[in-house]
């Protein structure tokens, strides 16, 4: 039995608990100091409660950090110092200095450390990566992604404070930056325009161009300003073909209600990308095998997102930092 402790009973804490509850070999624990969130969480998922972070760390094998981005650094370091295998939601940190410190701490501790870049586990994006890797499009020349909907809020509207969330580029665009780097290789330079990059608050929209070391070009649209509902798209074109995905064309059921559009897919519960991600992490911890998405992957994706943010502020092309 793997004892998993979740830090944070907010949105992602609930998403993760839903998946852990499908695993017969996982025992679930929680630390959440907010009474209201804790009570709702206990009613839904029935975890074993702990009274403090230290109490949680003493009782579990794994700590899953589902806190707001600006708290990742502090609690990942605490988890690693306690010798616990650690999963942290993306983006792994708010700055590269924090991300580097987290990776150094994981290396010193000698425990598994994984960053939750879940888009790699979505069936369409995984298939797209395999198609490119197998040569179906030939040599990739151009890629285009689009992701977003209405702005999230979170507790105390922390998403709208870009000093905490990083805005749409760091919180949302990083999904596609990670997928494109995974699929097309390292990024040489980034140029971005963002509505929120200079003002540092509120809803945001950004267009980013990535130039890859291979010579391929990527165009990424990320938005928190689309009232028509959440949507993802991608396409990759090469000298032998083109692959495309649009979530609005692949959803089995589309519901319009209250001015919003809701998309549903008939996936089996064990096909859920969050389940696949967390299952892969738990298996790596149990079997002593490498985690699928490393801290170095998380650092590289964050570096692309931060380069895009700096480009949006300065109107210059920026080279992402390397580990």
CB atoms under 10 Å from CB of 284, counted, come to: 17
pLDDT in tens, 156-174: 788 888 888 889 999 999 9
Residue 195, SS3? Answer: coil
Q: Which structure tokens are listed for 42?
A: 């206990």
Give the domain range for residue 132. Answer: 119-263+296-314
Domain boundary among 83, 117, 151: 117
Task: Determine which of 24-38, 60-74, 141-155 has the lowest per-residue pLDDT on average.
Answer: 141-155
Instruction: For residues 223 and 34, give the distance between their C-alpha atoms in angstroms, rounded to a whole number.
Output: 30
User: Per the domain annotation, does 275 fall within a domain?
Assistant: no
Domain check: are 132 and 105 in the same one?
no
Residue 199: phi, psi to the nearest 5? -85, -25
Please tell me whether residues 76 and 138 are part of one structural domain: no
Q: Which two tokens stand for residue 9?
A: 């009973």
Residues 96 and 53 in one domain: yes
Residue 198: inside a domain: yes
**87, 64 in Cβ contact below 8 A?**
yes
pLDDT for the residue 301: 98
175 touches 147 (CB < 8 A): yes
C-alpha span between 300 and 75 (Å, rounded): 21
Tell me how far apart the alpha carbons of residues 209 and 219 are, in angstroms, rounded to a whole number: 5
The answer to whether 309 and 198 have CB atoms below 8 angstroms apart is: no
Residues 105 and 224 reside in one and the same domain: no
In this structure, the answer to whether residues 92 and 128 fall within a common structural domain is: no
The pLDDT tens digits for 115-157 are 999 999 999 999 999 999 999 999 999 999 999 999 887 777 8
Q: Is residue 8 one of the residues assigned to a domain?
A: yes
Could you tell me where the DSSP H helices lie in 51-146?
A: 53-59, 72-81, 96-109, 123-133
Domain finish residue from 56, 88, 117: 117
Peptide bond connecting 138 to the previous residue in cis, omega within 30 degrees of 0: no
Range scoring the smallest mean pLDDT among 160-169, 219-228, 254-263: 254-263
pTM of this structure: 0.92
Residue 56 and residue 20 share a domain: yes
Look over the chain and give the mean of its residue pLDDT values, rounded to a whole number: 93
CATH of the domain at 83: 3.40.50.720
Residues 6+ apart with CB under 8 A from 58: none
Q: Is the pLDDT of residue 21 over 80?
A: yes
Choosing from 71, 96, 117, the residue where a domain stops is 117
Contact of 245 with 125, CB cutoff 8 Å? yes
For residue 162, what is the domain's CATH number? 3.30.360.10
Nearest to 66, CA basis, from 112, 115, 123: 115
């Amino acid at each position: 039995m793997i004892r998993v402790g979740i830090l944070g009973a907010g949105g992602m804490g609930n998403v993760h608990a839903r998946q852990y509850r499908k695993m017969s070999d996982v025992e679930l624990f929680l630390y959440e100091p907010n009474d209201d969130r804790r009570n709702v969480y206990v009613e839904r998922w029935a975890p074993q409660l702990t009274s403090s972070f230290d109490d949680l760390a003493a009782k579990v094998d794994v700590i899953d950090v589902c806190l707001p981005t600006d708290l990742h650094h502090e609690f990942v370091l605490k988890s690693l110092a306690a010798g616990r295998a650690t999963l942290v939601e993306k983006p792994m940190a708010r700055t590269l200095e924090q991300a580097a410190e987290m990776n150094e701490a994981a290396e010193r501790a000698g425990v598994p450390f994984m960053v939750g870049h879940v888009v790699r586990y979505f069936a369409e994006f995984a298939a797209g990566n395999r198609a490119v890797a197998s040569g179906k499009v030939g040599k990739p020349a151009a890629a285009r992604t689009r992701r977003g909907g209405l702005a999230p809020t979170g507790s105390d509207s922390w998403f709208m404070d870009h000093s905490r969330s990083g805005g749409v580029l760091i919180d949302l665009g990083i999904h596609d930056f990670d997928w494109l780097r995974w699929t097309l290789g390292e990024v040489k330079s980034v140029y971005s325009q963002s509505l929120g990059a200079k003002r540092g608050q509120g809803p945001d929209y950004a267009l980013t161009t990535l130039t890859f070391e291979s010579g391929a070009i990527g165009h990424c649209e990320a938005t928190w300003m689309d009232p028509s509902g959440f949507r993802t798209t991608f396409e990759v074109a090469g000298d032998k073909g083109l692959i495309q995905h649009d979530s609005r064309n692949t959803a089995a059921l589309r519901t319009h209600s209250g001015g919003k559009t809701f998309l549903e897919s008939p996936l089996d519960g064990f096909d859920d990308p969050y389940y696949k991600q967390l299952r892969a992490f738990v298996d790596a911890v149990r079997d002593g095998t490498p985690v699928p998405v490393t801290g170095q992957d998380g650092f590289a994706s964050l570096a692309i997102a931060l380069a895009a943010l700096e480009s949006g502020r300065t109107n210059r092309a920026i080279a992402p930092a390397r580990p």
